[in-house]
Structure 1
Amino acid sequence: MNNVVMEIKNISKSFPGVKALNNVSMTLKKGEIHALIGENGAGKSTLMNIIFGMFSPEDGKIYLSNKEVKIDNPLTAQTLGIGIVPQELNLVPFLSTTENILLGMEPCKIEKYILDWKKMRGRAEGILDKIGEKIELNIPVKDLSVAQQQIVQIARALAFDAKILILDEPTASLTIKETEMLFNIIDNFTSNGGSIFYISHRLEEILEIADRITVLRDGNKVKELNPHNTTKDEMVKYMVGRDVKTMKTEKCFDYENKERVLEVDNLSRKNEFNNISFKLYKGEILGIAGLVGAGRTELVSCIFGVTKPQDGEVRINGKRVDHNHTWEGIKNGIGYVPEERRELALFPILNIAENMTMPVINNFTNKGIINKVKEISVVEDYINKMRIKTPSYKQLIRNLSGGNQQKVILSRWMMAESKILILDEPTRGIDVNAKGEIYQLLHRLTEEGISIIFISSEIQEVIDVADRVLIMHEGLVKGEVESNKTSQEEIMSIALS
Structure 2
Amino acid sequence: MLKLKNIHFSYGEEKVLDNFSLELKAGNIHGVLGANGAGKTTLFQIIYGVMPPSKGKIIVPDNNFDISQIGYLETQPQFYPYMKGVEYIDLLSRGNPTFNVGVWNEIFKLPLNKLIDAYSSGMKKKLALLGIISQDKPIMLLDEPFNSLDLETVENLNLILKELKKENKIIVLTSHILEVLKLNCDRISYLNNGSVQQTFSKPDFQHINQYIKSDITQHTESIIQSIFSQ
Could you state the TM-score of these two structures normalised by the residue count of structure 1?
0.40
- Look up the match of 1:240: 216
- Look up the match of 1:85: 73
- Look up the match of 1:42: 38
Contact 1:7–1:64 at 8 Å: present in 2 too? yes
Correspondent of 2:151 among 148, 152, 176: 176
Residues 67-96 of structure 1 show CA distances to partners (whole Å, capped at 9, x for unaligned) of 596xxxxxx52x1x1111111122235311
Distance in 2 (CA, whole Å) between partners of 1:147 and 1:191 is 27
Shift of 1:99: 1.8
What code does the residue aligned with 2:194 have? G
- Is residue 2:54 matched to residue 1:58? yes
- Look up the match of 1:346: none
- Look up the match of 1:126: 100
Residues 167-187 of structure 1 show CA distances to partners (whole Å, capped at 9, x for unaligned) of 112222122222112212222
Q: Map 1:287-366 to 2 at 5 A.
A: none
Change (3 A) 1:147 1:227: farther
Correspondent of 2:87 among 86, 89, 99: 99
Change (3 A) 1:18 1:68: farther
Distance in 1 (CA, whole Å) between partners of 2:40 and 2:72 is 13
Structure 1 spans left out of the alignment, 5+ residues: 70-75, 108-121, 246-436, 444-497
Provide the secondary structure at the position in 2 that maps to 1:233.
helix
What code does the residue aligned with 2:87 have? E
Contact 1:41–1:218 at 8 Å: present in 2 too? no
Provide the secondary structure at the position in 2 that maps to 1:54.
coil
- Is residue 2:183 matched to residue 1:187? no
Correspondent of 1:138 among 100, 110, 113: 113
Contact 2:92–2:135 at 8 Å: present in 1 too? no
Change (3 A) 1:189 1:238: farther
**CA RMSD of superposed structures (Å):** 3.2
Provide the secondary structure at the position in 2 that maps to 1:230.
helix
Change (3 A) 1:241 1:9: farther
- Is residue 2:24 matched to residue 1:28? yes
What code does the residue aligned with 1:191 have? K
Shift of 1:155: 3.1
What code does the residue aligned with 1:233 have? N
- Is residue 2:190 matched to residue 1:215? yes
- Look up the match of 2:11: 15
- Is residue 2:203 matched to residue 1:228? yes
Q: Map 1:68-79 to 2 at 5 A.
A: 77=67, 79=68
What code does the residue aligned with 1:179 have? V
- Look up the match of 1:354: none
Contact 1:39–1:240 at 8 Å: present in 2 too? no
Higher relative contact order (CA 8 A, sep 6+): 2
Change (3 A) 1:128 1:12: farther
Distance in 1 (CA, whole Å) between partners of 2:55 and 2:64 is 14
Distance in 2 (CA, whole Å) between partners of 1:238 and 1:220 is 17
Residues 270-290 of structure 1 show CA distances to partners (whole Å, capped at 9, x for unaligned) of xxxxxxxxxxxxxxxxxxxxx
Distance in 1 (CA, whole Å) between partners of 2:102 and 2:45 is 26
Distance in 2 (CA, whole Å) between partners of 1:50 and 1:103 is 24
Distance in 2 (CA, whole Å) between partners of 1:236 and 1:178 is 28
Percent of aligned pairs sharing the same letter: 27
- Look up the match of 1:196: 171
